[in-house]
Structure formats: structure tokens, C-alpha cells
């Protein structure tokens, strides 16, 4: 069995089997948050893990995706589902515009530029109150899919619906990312990650490929933002906040930036941690930093690849 198929099977199995162990509906909520975060982090895996670029402003795209779901149905008359796709297209467009000049340069320029972009989006969402209703947030219309399911006889709670729906989107997102990994584009991305000069020598258009990775990952973040907005039926500018961007990168690096399954693991750990440690809310940031440092010192590839190597090493 290939790694790709194994990864997809494991993810699908987690989505389907976990509910049998859920003592209450609340766990569906935590589960769906994990899947939404994992989707965004899968985008980071493509950008950082495959192409070796760092973005510190991906929450900005999540903000665009989320607010698209709130605003497009009201102002453009779009169905919320279509609004999510509209948001994804918009995020991709913005990423393209910002990435095109920046990604011609080498080094840390993308990190800085994306940092600025993320903060800019958060500021626009908070300050342009005539459109976004400001820092207090705005309601998001219902997706209507759960009602449609109910009409054909499948009657489940809202939290359960969003658990399975987010799970489905996450698995599809993982499937696309894994396909990309083995495609010519994916190989070229990994080649330029290894050495940009070598990649250029063998005829890879480095700037264009980096841009492609950036745009794809922006679309992932945007869809994650849309999913979050649609299931919360409410969104505030916090979703585009700087800490949220950092959280995404942390999840990717913690789980293993090059691995889709690692993305899930990172998202799962950092989403459940605050729920388990409710008493330590005040120290959450400190704990996050500590975990990050330990992983960087002892498991530089991230949790999953490091553990996998250790297990394999023992088998030999």
C-alpha cells in the first residue's frame, strides 16, 4: 500500500470511527474544529513543506474566506456555498497579486510580505464597519445542507453534520495535496525546496512554481475560514488575527511540515490542548512556545516524521 493511500485511509477511518467513542455532542464540535484547522494546515504543508516558503499571514486568507460567506450572500445574492468558492477565488487572486512580485526574490521576503498582508486584512475587517460591521463581527447565513439532508430523511444534529462535512472536506483536501506531492509540480516544488539553484539548472521556473504553491495554500486557508464561518454562523475579525496565522504555522511545524498526516496530527494536538488544559488558559501561549521549542530541538522534522523514523529504525 502506498503512503498516499495509507494516509487517506487513516484520515477517513479517524473521521468515521471516532464518533463511536464520543460521550457527547461536544466532541463533534472539537472534531470539526480539528478538521477545519487540519484543512488550513494542509495548505501550509504544500507551501512550507513542499516548496519551503514561509507565510505568516495565512489567517488573512481565512478571514477573506470567512467574510465572503457572510457578505457575498447579502450583497451579491450568492448561495453561501458559492460564496465560499467566491472567497477561495478572491483569496487565490490576492495571493497571486501579492506573491507575483515577491516570489521572484529569494529569502524571507514572502514571510514579511504575507505578515503585512495578514495584518492588513485584519485591519480592514475591523475598521471598515460599513461593510463588515466592525470588530463585533457579523452573522453568516446557513449553508442549508443540513436541512437538505433532513428533507431526504437523514436527521442529524447541526454539530454532527458539521463534523462529517468538515471531515469530508479535509479528506478531499488531503487527497488533492497528496496527488500534488507526486505530480510533476510537486516534484518540482520539492526540488526547489532542496536547492533553488539546482532546480533552476534543470529547467524549473522557480518563481512561477512558488507562486502556484502560495496561491493553492491561500485557497486552502480561505476554504477553512469559510467552513468555520458557516458552522459558527457568525464571524469576527479575530479569524484573520496574527496569532491565528502563527497557530497555523505552529500546527504544521509541530506535526511535521512535509507530511499531510502530520498536518492533521499538529492540528489535532493544538486544537484539543486548550480544551484539555482549560485551567491553564493563562499559560497557553507559554505552553505553545515551549512545545514548539522542544519539537524544534529534539524533533526537527516535526512529531510525525521523527516518530515514524524512530519506529522504522527499531524495526530494522
Partner 1 sequence: MKTLTALATLAALGAASAASAEIRIGATISETGPAAFLGDPEAKTLEMMVEKLNAAGGINGEQVELVLYDDGGDPNKARTFATRLVEDDEVVAIIGGTTTGATMSIIPVAEDAEVPFISLAGAIEIIDPVKDWVFKTPHTDRMACAKIFEDMKARGITRIGMISGTDGFGASMRKQCLEIAPEAGIEVIADESYGPTDADMTPQLTNIKNRAGVQAVLNAGFGQGPSVVTRNYQQLAVGLPLYQSHGVASKGFIDLAGSGAAEGVRLPGTALLVGDLLADDDPQKPVVAAYVAEYQAEYGEAPSTFGGYAHDAFAILTDAITRAGSADPEEIRDAIETTAGLAGTTGVVTMTPEDHLGFDLSAFRMLEIRDGGWTLVD
Q: Is 313 in the site for partner 1 (CB under 8 A)?
A: no
Q: Is 30 in the site for partner 1 (CB under 8 A)?
A: yes
- 235 phi and psi angles, rounded to 5 deg: -145, 145
d(C-alpha 82, C-alpha 247), whole Å:
27
Site for partner 1 in 138-167 (CB under 8 A): 139, 158-159
Which long-range CB contacts under 8 A does 32-35 form with residues at least 24 apart? 32/159, 32/162, 32/163, 32/165, 32/166, 32/167, 32/231, 33/228, 33/271, 34/264, 34/267, 34/268, 34/271, 34/272, 35/163, 35/166, 35/167, 35/169, 35/170, 35/267
Identify the residue among 238, 242, 291, 299 touching partner 1 (CB under 8 A): 238
Site track for partner 1 across 32-51, x = CB under 8 A? -x------------------
Length of the chain, in residues: 316
Identify the residue among 4, 12, 27, 242 touching partner 1 (CB under 8 A): 27
Residue 263 · residue 38 · CB < 8 Å: yes
| Identity of the residue, 23 or 184, whose beta carbon is nearer to partner 1 in the bound complex | 23
Identify the residue among 68, 72, 121, 126 touching partner 1 (CB under 8 A): 126
Minimum CB separation of residue 208 from partner 1 in Å reads 35
Q: Is 306 in the site for partner 1 (CB under 8 A)?
A: no
In 3D, which of 230, 234, 211 has the Cα closest to residue 222? 230
Identify the residue among 101, 105, 168, 234 touching partner 1 (CB under 8 A): 234
d(C-alpha 306, C-alpha 310), whole Å:
6
Site track for partner 1 across 53-92, x = CB under 8 A? ----------------------------------------
Residue 235 pairs with which residues in a beta bridge? Answer: 138
Q: Is 233 in the site for partner 1 (CB under 8 A)?
A: yes
- List residues binding partner 1 (CB under 8 A): 10, 13-14, 17-18, 21-27, 29-31, 33, 126-127, 129, 134-137, 139, 158-159, 228, 232-234, 236, 238-239, 261, 264-265, 268-269, 272, 274-276, 278, 281-282, 284, 304, 311
Amino acid at each position: 500500500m502506498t503512503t498516499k493511500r495509507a494516509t487517506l485511509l487513516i484520515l477517513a477511518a479517524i473521521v468515521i470511527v471516532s464518533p463511536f467513542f464520543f460521550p457527547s455532542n461536544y466532541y463533534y464540535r472539537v472534531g470539526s474544529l480539528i478538521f477545519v484547522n487540519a484543512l488550513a494546515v494542509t495548505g501550509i504543508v504544500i507551501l512550507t513543506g513542499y516548496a519551503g516558503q514561509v507565510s505568516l499571514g495565512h489567517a488573512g486568507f481565512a478571514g477573506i474566506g470567512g467574510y465572503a460567506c457572510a457578505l457575498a450572500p447579502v450583497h451579491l445574492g450568492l448561495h453561501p456555498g458559492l460564496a465560499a468558492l467566491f472567497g477561495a477565488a478572491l483569496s487565490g487572486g490576492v495571493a497571486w497579486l501579492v506573491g507575483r512580485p515577491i516570489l521572484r526574490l529569494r529569502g524571507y521576503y514572502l514571510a514579511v510580505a504575507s505578515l503585512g498582508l495578514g495584518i492588513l486584512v485584519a485591519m480592514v475587517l475591523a475598521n471598515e464597519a460599513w461593510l463588515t460591521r466592525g470588530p463585533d463581527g457579523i452573522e453568516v447565513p446557513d449553508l442549508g445542507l443540513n436541512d437538505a439532508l433532513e428533507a431526504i430523511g437523514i436527521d442529524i444534529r447541526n454539530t454532527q453534520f458539521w463534523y462529517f462535512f468538515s471531515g469530508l472536506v479535509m479528506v478531499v483536501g488531503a487527497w488533492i495535496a497528496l496527488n500534488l506531492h507526486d505530480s510533476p509540480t510537486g516534484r518540482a516544488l520539492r526540488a526547489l525546496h532542496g536547492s533553488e539553484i539546482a532546480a533552476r539548472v534543470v529547467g524549473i521556473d522557480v518563481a512561477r512554481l512558488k507562486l502556484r504553491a502560495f496561491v493553492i495554500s491561500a485557497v486552502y486557508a480561505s476554504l477553512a475560514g469559510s467552513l468555520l464561518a458557516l458552522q459558527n454562523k457568525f464571524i469576527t475579525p479575530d479569524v484573520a488575527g496574527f496569532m491565528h496565522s502563527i497557530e497555523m504555522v505552529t500546527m504544521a511545524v509541530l506535526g511535521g511540515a512535509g507530511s499531510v498526516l502530520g498536518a492533521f496530527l499538529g492540528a489535532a494536538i493544538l486544537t484539543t490542548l486548550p480544551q484539555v488544559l482549560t485551567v491553564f488558559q493563562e499559560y497557553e501561549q507559554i505552553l505553545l512556545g515551549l512545545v514548539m521549542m522542544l519539537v524544534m530541538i529534539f524533533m526537527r522534522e516535526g512529531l510525525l516524521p521523527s516518530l515514524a523514523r524512530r519506529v522504522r529504525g527499531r524495526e530494522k
